[in-house]
Structure 1
């Protein structure tokens, strides 16, 4: 029987492992569950002799010297969370076959992006603020035409920066709306773009779209890539959604554009978290602010262990099958 270490605190296990999966783990594996004292010393005590390990948020970095068959430690790692960059160093990644729930979390992020886009297109924060201040539909002129009116998503032109897993989820969710999607990503080849149903585009082309959604990893190449000058190219009334990395954008310029009313902006990530935002920023109905929860849903989190575990089992049984949660070491430098 495969010896599995669940290197996840009890509270985190309740968050990312549904009861049915817990039952399956107990029947399928010789399982050891970590307790609340989950630190490096605990890992060094529990990892030897294990065939596989499942980790999540809160798991300390795995000691490289205890990984792999030669070290008598796990050869398979399943990360029931997103990025593995803080969990494994390059040498450790080379010693094990690794699976990550990042693609599953990406679906939650895609849904957030769609909901944020629809919320801002229909001007819901402004309407909500008006109602709360005692107003109703703002109107003007002899015909009493509305001063404030939302827009439909159908037929829009959407600019996407980065063809990451979160972008691909967003793209799939956008398809029923009949939109045109332009994607800027230097690693997106024409065949892959065609399969996604998008058009590869330069950064300048993408910045001319009425909607901009940012989906890039944190790398030296992406830091500061969306400058104030590029933001100026967005059309008046444009929408910007950033659910990926705050460092990719000139945040001061972005908030200033929302403050002026030129752009509407959804922010889920910030240069410092929690952010220290001025009162006028907090009161701006052109800003939709959320606390880094784009990938955080109740049922989504409950599915994370099972998502990686299914691929781990297939790999352990076959020795070759990888599945969608497999982490390709060759792509680590360009992933989140």
Structure 2
């Protein structure tokens, strides 16, 4: 297959794809607007943060597979892909450790005011009296919103610091999740409102869906105790940013954020975020999954998805496909001629 890799991707895994007979075009600086022309002649696309629009998919002449080298697929127009018979796959869980580590880092930074410490020292200011005030993590009540792979991995780290983990009870949790949660001594409450009232740290680990959009709104923020900490390393649009700013100014809420509603869709650019500039916010640049460990784990799974796709029967969906039904319904779906091996060329 001809594969366009439109974001950063480790060289050794590009070499592994080439060793399997694939031709990789490595263009990590491709923007969302450039994809429409860059996709010509390519059978597969691998992206991380670059948005894949309906226009790009419609302009592609041979695209059959889009892989998001991460967990969420909200930056990809899955409906357009399905209409054109293009499978969309993600790589869930492989970046859980990295995101959990960053979330924990933001919590520690907020508790100890680490960025302000550094800024003052670099400016030749010594203010031990100010920075000696910290609550510590031990004994805090940490509410985890979203007990998926990332949420649980963060909860395990918070618990190891002596924090009490809390979450919302749900009837459809799988047994493995419940086992891990109970092993941490997780306290389950009946509602998100109760979770906010109970905890002084609220950490969000949910996908971007219609149900989670603006999940952290004025109503939920009003339930938090004064001085509470909010952590969001999932998606920017789950937060009502104006409401969060009001809560920071009126109720002393502080926030550790890795994502923002209007962040750039490419790796570099400019950002004008009133929320990111707020003094109660410690922010990072959507780097939750950006550790060497995570990128190697994700890249290895991308190679596995490509291999599975090219060796499967034409009607068989690749691993972690999120739009199987849409592709199945696509009346114009056309598979390449069989190579005789039962798989895709």
Task: Output the TM-score relative to the length of structure 2.
Answer: 0.70
Q: Paired residue for 1:326? A: 320
Partners of 1:163 and 1:185 within 8 A in 2: no
Unaligned 5+ runs, structure 1: 48-52, 68-72, 140-146
Match of 2:338 in 1: none
- Tell me what 1:135 maps to: 126
Shift of 1:122: 2.4
| Alignment-derived partner of residue 162 in structure 1 | 146
1:33 paired to 2:25: yes
Distance 1:259 1:23, change over 3 A: same
Change beyond 3 A, Cα 1:307–1:229: same
CA distance in 2, matches of 1:234, 1:59: 34
In the alignment, structure 1 residue 256 sits paired with structure 2 residue 246 = yes
Structural RMSD (CA): 3.9
Evaluate the alpha carbon distance shift between residue 23 and residue 223 of structure 1 in structure 2; reply closer, same or farther with a 3 A threshold. Answer: closer
Distance 1:89 1:328 in 2: 8
Q: Flag the 1:187–1:133 CA change in 2: closer, same or farther, 3 A.
A: farther
Equivalent residues in 2 for 1:106-125 (5 A)?
106-125=96-115
- Residue 20 of structure 1 corresponds to 12
Return the TM-score normalized by structure 1. 0.71
1:240: how far off? 0.9
Q: Which residue of 2 aligns with 1:304?
A: 298
- Partner residue of 1:45? 41
Once residues 283 and 183 of structure 1 are traced to their aligned partners in structure 2, the CA distance between those partners, rounded to angstroms, is 28
Deviation at 1:25, TM superposition (A): 1.7
Name the SS for the 1:240 alignment partner: strand
8 Å contact 1:78–1:309 — kept in the other structure? no
Tell whether 2:33 aligns with 1:5: no
| Unmatched segments (≥5 aa) in structure 2 | 264-270, 327-345
Deviation at 1:200, TM superposition (A): 4.0
Q: Kindly state the Cα deviation for residue 159 of structure 1 after the two structures are TM-superposed.
A: 0.5
Q: How does 1:1-336 map to 2 (within 5 A)?
A: 4-9=1-6, 12=7, 15-16=8-9, 18-33=10-25, 39-41=35-37, 43-47=39-43, 53-57=44-48, 58=50, 60-61=52-53, 63=57, 77-90=66-79, 92-93=81-82, 95=85, 98-128=88-118, 131=121, 132=123, 134-138=125-129, 148-184=132-168, 188-189=172-173, 191=175, 193-197=177-181, 198-201=186-189, 202-208=191-197, 209-259=199-249, 262-273=252-263, 274-277=271-274, 282=277, 284=279, 286-297=280-291, 300-301=294-295, 303-313=297-307, 326-329=320-323
